[in-house]
Amino acid sequence: MKRFDFFQPIHNQIRAQLYETGALVQHADVDQASESGTTLYRLQGVLNLLQVYMAFGELHILPAITAYESAIADSLLQERAEMGKVQEQLKESIDAQGWASQPPGQGRETEDLATCFESLALQMIQYLRREENLAGKLLWRYYSDEELQALATKLWGEKVFAPHSFSGKTIPAKEWHATQPIENESCVANASFYQTMTARAASFLYPQQRSLLQDVLAGGMVV
């Protein structure tokens, strides 16, 4: 019997936003005010998305888990607290950058912004996988599909989420270039960010963390 998957459509949308925004940050031209303004707007949008999701989780998801497995809920809450710190750092970096009002050539600030976003993206991807592996199974164990669907309906009611704005189809990394036209700059940018994140994971994460992150990334990109 196939169960209702509460996390998959939500997590797919978050991953898609992280991949696309990461590519945009990497290739932003700070000498172009319009382009840099778009990048800052997109970063703020991702922050809003994550903040809404985290707040919803603390109000609804974690209490549902705490009722049966409080230790796991506490572990997830601790991870959320760490990500909250990185989110605040990213917000400060966005405020400090102020591309639209500063003269071009703020290279150091741009690098700090990209590094901060990449750190948040890495942490978030790892956290999403833990939610799927731990929280998802617990929700299936203790709650009916009807209860989970009602919970999902509440989350889709948040304006920053759009349940029909993406296909939910996942393309493995090895097929990414082959399935997209080479002239598609967005495709090339996404693939580049995908590879960069994997390389970063290999350079500074502990082996068990690196394996987890690479497993998530190898699962594909949402289009």
Domain ranges of the chain: 7-222
- Give the pair of three-digit tokens for residue 126: 């790892």
Q: How far is CA 129 from CA 33, 103, 122, 125, in A?
A: 36, 40, 11, 6
Distance from the first to the final alpha carbon of the chain:
27
Closest alpha carbon to 116 in 98, 81, 99, 92: 92
Please list the helix, strand and coil fractions of the chain in percent, rounded to the nearest 5, in that order. 75, 0, 20
Q: What is the assigned CATH class of domain 7-222?
A: mainly alpha
Per-residue pLDDT of the chain in tens (223 residues, 90 and over written 9) = 788 998 988 898 899 888 888 888 877 665 555 566 777 888 888 898 898 899 999 999 999 999 999 999 999 999 999 999 999 988 888 887 764 444 444 555 566 778 888 889 989 999 999 999 999 999 999 999 999 999 888 887 765 555 433 333 333 333 333 333 333 344 444 445 445 554 554 444 444 444 444 444 444 433 3
Is the CA virtual torsion 175, 179, 185, 186 positive or negative? negative
What DSSP designation does 134 have?
Answer: I
pLDDT at 158: 62
Q: Which amino acid is at 124?
A: M
